[in-house]
Amino acid sequence: MSVLAFNDPSNVHYSWLQRFAGNIIRYGCTSRLRHIAIVMDGNRRFAREHNFERARGHTLGADRLFDVCQWCHDLGINELSVYAFSLENLKRSQDEIDTLMNIARVKLSELKKSLDKIHEQQICVRIIGNLDLLPEDIQQSSYYLMKETDHYKNFILNVCLYYTSRNEITTVIQTLAKGCEKNLLNIDDIDDDLILQSLIVSTSQTGYLPDIFLRTSGELRLSDFMLLQCRFSMWIFADVYWPAFTVWHLYWIILQYEMKSKTLINIQDQCKTILQQERSMNEQKNERIKGYLNWLEQQRIERLKL
């Protein structure tokens, strides 16, 4: 699969054992996985170990992303957030940066050519990050795709480009300051919950935080990816390079979550209960926050119209 256009699961090439295991996981697991966040790591090392050029490793990694989207869709997981390019990657050689941008350019072009299928299947594509730093043609393609697919919720792919969590949080705080200047908020309204709600507006179409934070390649690092959004996620570090990631790895990850999900959900519910009690105590604050979040969403939509 080379583009984000889902085939009917019966037409996807699964072995009989993969199909059997997938059906057990989809219909047998008691916990409902809705959102996975992935640091797609290991493209360069995969290429080096197989004597490929580095560019081929990155290309294979990009192709694997669309395979994983199909697998998640078939398993009933309808939101995927991936770390495609960090602001820290700007420290790499210009040749490698150009390679990565060319791959992004090609994949965005393929997505635009597949728009009829994307519309038919109601797939939402969101590009998240400091998009002003992207080459102009990639900016235009990104905004065009987001504008065309923004209202869909059947499957959501959030691609983080020129992104770090620190930069994202800084932007949210600057936006909160503007909200106070416009008298949409009082300074006392700002707390960690409002910051998180603001982040959700920009990084999740469904409003669901990631259930799983996954990093491939065996590295035990978070790499500044969705740090606040993943605070209640299950963190899994898979010892496999991203281009070598298979559906079996995904099945294993989902089963790991199934075994631990009750504990995670209990913690999330306890925190939600505390927040709901605090919110119910101040209706005026709730109204201000609701108005601010609506304004924030409108700002996001207006940017897509430019």
pLDDT in tens, 51-95: 999 999 999 999 999 999 999 999 999 999 999 999 999 999 999
User: Rounded CA gap, 160 and 131, in Å?
Assistant: 10
Q: What is the pLDDT of residues 190-242, one digit of tens each?
A: 988 899 889 887 777 677 889 999 999 999 999 999 999 998 899 999 999 99
> Could you tell me the pLDDT band of residue 281, with boundaries at 50, 70 and 90?
low
Q: Collapse the DSSP code of 75 into the 3-class scheme (helix H, G, I; strand E, B; otherwise coil) and give the result.
A: coil
Pick the closest to residue 174 from 202, 140, 133, 146 (CA basis): 202
More confident residue, 2 or 93: 93
Pick the closest to residue 228 from 213, 218, 238, 217 (CA basis): 213
Q: Which pLDDT score, from 0 to 100, does residue 265 have?
A: 79
- Whether residue 3 is predicted with pLDDT greater than 60 in this model: the reply is no
Q: Which pLDDT score, from 0 to 100, does residue 2 have?
A: 47
User: What predicted TM-score, i.e. pTM, was given to this entire model?
Assistant: 0.92
User: Rounded CA gap, 28 and 20, in Å?
Assistant: 11
Average pLDDT over residues 175-202: 90
Share of the chain above pLDDT 90, in %: 74
User: Rounded CA gap, 78 and 157, in Å?
Assistant: 8
Q: Collapse the DSSP code of 165 into the 3-class scheme (helix H, G, I; strand E, B; otherwise coil) and give the result.
A: helix
Q: What is the pLDDT of residues 234-260, one digit of tens each?
A: 999 999 999 999 999 999 999 999 998
Q: What is the pLDDT of residues 133-155, one digit of tens each?
A: 999 999 999 999 999 999 899 99
280 burial type by CB count under 10 A (0-12 exposed, 13-18 middle, 19+ buried): exposed
Q: Which residues of 102-113 are buried (b: 16+ CB within 10 A; e: fewer)?
A: ebbeebbeebee
Q: Which pLDDT score, from 0 to 100, does residue 306 have?
A: 62
- Whether residue 282 is predicted with pLDDT greater than 90 in this model: the reply is no
Six-digit token string for 275: 């927040």
Q: Collapse the DSSP code of 163 into the 3-class scheme (helix H, G, I; strand E, B; otherwise coil) and give the result.
A: strand
